[in-house]
Structure 1
Amino acid sequence: MSSSSQSENPWPTLPLEAWADTCATLHLWTQIVGKIRLSRSPWVNHSWHVTLYVTATGLTTSPIPYGTRTFQIDFDFIEHQLIIRTSDGRSARFALVAQSVAAFYTRLMEGLTRLELPLTIHRMPNELVDPIPFDEDDTHRFYDAQYANRFWRVLVQADRVFKVFRAAFVGKCSPVHYFWGAADLAVTRFSGRPAPPHPGGVPHMPDWVTREAYSAEVSSCGFWPGGGAVPYAAFYAYAYPEPNGFAASNVRPAEAFYSTELQEFVLPYEVVRQAASPDETLLAFLQTTYEAAADPGKWDRSALERRADPGAASGQV
């Protein structure tokens, strides 16, 4: 059954306290799906081969190689289904309903086996304190369809605006993609210079993975549903390495602040949602936090940024 319509607010409310249990369960479900992509994909710099992507109905792995075949796994947050599709026209699906992580894991692996796609993954979640192996986790078992749909709708808006921001940069830049380790949608710009080795220390994540991910200077921004030091949905921005003066930079809008605990700028989602122009408010945050990294970091902005659309002068492509 559909749980959204064209008439709904494109920037819905998303109070973490109202869906925290669903958020935790869904986070683990996306980790299982993401690890399936990881298990079959060639390694790409900064772990870009593991991410999920926002679609018109939910999240997708994009095509995953399996011998001479490909398959993809999609979360549909309108009809609330998990769908596996293959390049030879076969498919399997099951309903996204309240069920344990262990039950989700079993159903997904059984569906892959029926499609002649047997595989194994590392069954321990990443980036979480006190993780439970997926096939043993009967603790996380919540699914509120309304809030899963709202979360996806927020991702749709963030993805759309992040892509506008990304388009102005001609240097190395990541896709706009969903990292299931921390459950955030992110886009990252690179200065083109190497960075000092990252200290690592991410829970249940090999330090070599973190060091490779941060092997070059970055200015990164994203959206996160919240938790811990920031118990609400928020946009964030950080730099690695952090240049002198970054934390004291004057960024917009005025409600944005620097979190010394997270070492990044934070903008509550509610500020964007309630703004007269959410797009302009979010773009101001993305641009000013990027400038806070690029200017004191002495990035070659004239070479890295595009000042106008190539077809703007002629009005056609």
Structure 2
Amino acid sequence: MGAEPRGAASAWPDLRVADWTDTRNTLHMWTQIVGKIRMAHAPLVNHWWQVTLYVSPRGLTTSSIPYGTGAFDIEFDFVDRRLEVRSSDGGTGGFALRPMSVADFYAETTALLGRLGVEAPIRPVPNEVDPAVPFPDDHEHASYDGEAAELFWRQLLQANRLIGEFRSRFVGKVSPVHFFWGAMDLACTRFSGRPAPPHPGGAPNCGDWVMVEGYSHELSSCGFWPGGGAEGAFYAYAYPAPDGFSEYPVEAEGAAFSPEFQQFVLPYEAARTASDPDRVVREFLQSTYEAAAELGKWDRTALEADPERWRHRMA
């Protein structure tokens, strides 16, 4: 598929969306299955934060999921190309990530959990996609290119690193940097502290009440997803978007407001090919946040702080 060979990937790998669309769509459904397993056992946290996955040194992980008096976790290991499950009672298991249908992945995952004594009562239907083929019936999505999945994870590593750095400058309510399997995007959201008008919903195969919970408070969100550009894109939006938001001057070269997506977009390839990719992404994250905070009249003095403020005491 023309991707860089394993072991030779740069820090900012070149991965065209068109070169791995079939794998992306299959992996999307696999992450939904694993994410729904976490959702089945974790208590509700603000805006569905308990359902997400996280970028790990090997791929994507659920982190620790409470189960009875113990816990378990599930990880997509994109380096060794395996799904791994570990339990606090000492049980471990896994299987190779390989070309296999969503139906087979669902069956193999639930069987593995069963062998480890973990029940996985999920609603086996995907969200935020149309059509929503039930997992046990989905034999169409069956592609898996391990090189492409690993390069996607390496894209996420860069996004996670820079968005995490950006997050550290906010002392108000702010989400983790986490992977939402509904839309298959890495996201981080800052909040002004004020409630927002009820979200109108409209996401395919996802109840409007889900969006009402997710967008219950005024926010500025940023992230990365494998769409919006030839190689994916960084994005940023506000809810509700203040007057003038789409016209706000965003500094990052290559960034623009997308009428289609109703958000600012920085194509990944614009960052990757820049002389200083980190600087371009930092400028994008900061200036799009300022669009929301300045136009929305956020109390920036109370909500922001220098993450280096104690560095002189730590030396």
- Please report the TM-score for the alignment, with normalisation by the length of structure 1: 0.96
CA positional deviation for 1:312: 3.0
Cα separation, 1, equivalents of 2:307 and 2:265: 29
In structure 1, how many angstroms separate the alpha carbons of the residues matched to 2:215 and 2:90? 39
Between the aligned partners of 1:79 and 1:254, the Cα distance in structure 2 is 36
Query: For residue 99 of structure 1, what is the amino acid of its counterpart?
Result: M
Query: Is the aligned partner of 1:200 residue 2:201?
Result: yes
Unaligned 5+ residue runs, structure 2? Answer: none
Distance 1:188 1:125 in 2: 24
Code of the residue aligned with 2:10 in structure 1: it is N
Conservation of the 8 A alpha-carbon contact between 2:14 and 2:231: no
3-state DSSP of counterpart to 1:295: helix
For 2:182, the aligned partner's letter is G
Unaligned runs of 5+ in 1: none
1:46 paired to 2:47: yes
**Which residue number corresponds to residue 86 of structure 1?**
87
CA distance in 1 between partners of 2:178 and 2:37 (Å): 16
Within 5 Å, give how 1:57-68 maps onto structure 2: 57-68=58-69
Matched with 1:283 is 282
Whether contact under 8 Å (2:103, 2:136) holds in the other structure is yes
* 1:204-230 C-alpha deviation (Å, 9 max, x unpaired): 111111001100000000000016xx5
Residues 258-277 of structure 1: pairs in structure 2 closer than 5 A: 258-277=257-276
Taking only aligned residues, the RMSD between alpha carbons, in angstroms, comes to 1.2
Give the equivalent residue in structure 1 for 2:233: 234
Distance 1:89 1:37 in 2: 19
Show CA shifts across 1:78-135 (max 9, x none).
0000011000111110000000000000000000000011222111100001111001
Aligned residue number for residue 8 of structure 1: 9
CA distance in 1, matches of 2:77, 2:113: 17
> How many pairs does the alignment contain?
311
| Corresponding residue for residue 165 of structure 1 | 166
User: Where does residue 127 of structure 1 map in the other structure?
Assistant: 128
Could you tell me how far apart the structure 2 residues matched to 1:8 and 1:174 are?
A: 30
The equivalent of 1:187 in structure 2 is 188
1:237 aligns to what SS in structure 2?
strand
Residue 254 of structure 1 and its aligned partner are, at CA, apart by 2.9
What aligned pairs does 1:212-251 form with structure 2 within 5 A after superposition?
A: 212-226=213-227, 232-251=231-250
Partner of 1:102: 103
Distance in structure 2 (CA, Å) of the matches to 1:276 and 1:232 = 17
Q: Report the 3-state secondary structure (helix = DSSP H, G, I; strand = E; otherwise coil) of the residue aligned with 2:47.
A: helix
| Structure-1 separation of matches of 2:27 and 2:253 | 32
Task: Give yes or no for contact 2:230–2:269 (8 Å, CA) kept in 1.
Answer: no
State TM-score, norm by structure 2.
Answer: 0.96
Within 2, Cα distance between the matches of 1:151 and 1:283?
20
**Correspondence for 2:150:** 149
Deviating above 4 A after TM superposition, structure 1's stretches of 4 or more consecutive aligned residues are none
For each residue in 1:257-304, what CA deviation from the matched residue of structure 2 results, as whole angstroms up to 9, or x when unmatched? 111121100000001111111111101000000001100100000110
Counterpart Cα distance in 2 of 1:267 and 1:140: 29
Tell me the CA shift for residue 309 of structure 1. Answer: 1.6
